[in-house]
Homo-oligomer: A and B are copies of this chain.
């Protein structure tokens, strides 16, 4: 998948933290949403990892990802209970200290009465030194950003609000655009002409996605490029190939 334009591309990775996803008890709803939004703004998601609530695993994954991609997003593990260890793991990965942050504590007190504040809830105000806070309009306990790492809640509604707060602050590149052509054919019937088109348009990514419809196997052909003119040219080539196949069949 060569890049169509020579501009610096902005890349992202996502680290999903939580035993509940790995046990299958909770079905992740965040990967698809984050993937879609990052594609829309032009900070393409290039890798996802899901790890358990084990500090060493979180630290290792964070350090692998943050040196490789422009941004790393994390979801999960920033609540008040003993299994919420994301903030501490992030501090460890960056080699910085972590303590209750007065700004975060003030945010919590917008939502939690002073009499209900306790040591557990104060854990949600523990923020690595040097991090910027990310507001949480739903339940106030903030996310944070340190370096290129953006730490968000795991609850989808809260995560989505944090993501929208962060996206406008990011560097983004030219957006990846896409066009879909329904093949009305089985993958294997059009694979050869499709490969020829893919070879003719090295700056365009052409994907073939088979699915089982009620009437049998079918295929979506997805053409992707950051260059709008090239995208349409490749899309037209794919559509013409598909139409030709239909006439021949």
Q: Which residues of chain A have a CB within 8 Å of any CB of chain B?
A: 1, 16, 19-28, 31-39, 44-54, 57, 79-84, 112, 116, 118-121, 123-124, 138-139, 155, 157, 176, 178, 180, 187-189, 191-192, 194-195, 198-199, 205-212, 217, 222, 224
Contact = CB atoms under 8 A, between A and B. Distances in A.
A119 B192 contact: yes
A1 B23 CA distance: 13
A83 B198 CA distance: 9
A21 B25 contact: no
A188 B112 CA distance: 10
A195 B80 CA distance: 10
B188 A116 contact: yes
A82 B37 contact: no
A90 to B, nearest CB: 18
A187 B24 contact: no
A63 to B, nearest CB: 14
Contacts of A119: 192
A205 B81 contact: no
B33 A195 contact: no
A45 B28 contact: no
A155 B212 contact: yes
14 contacts: A22-B35, A22-B47, A23-B35, A23-B39, A23-B44, A25-B178, A28-B32, A81-B195, A82-B194, A83-B198, A83-B206, A84-B208, A112-B188, A138-B212
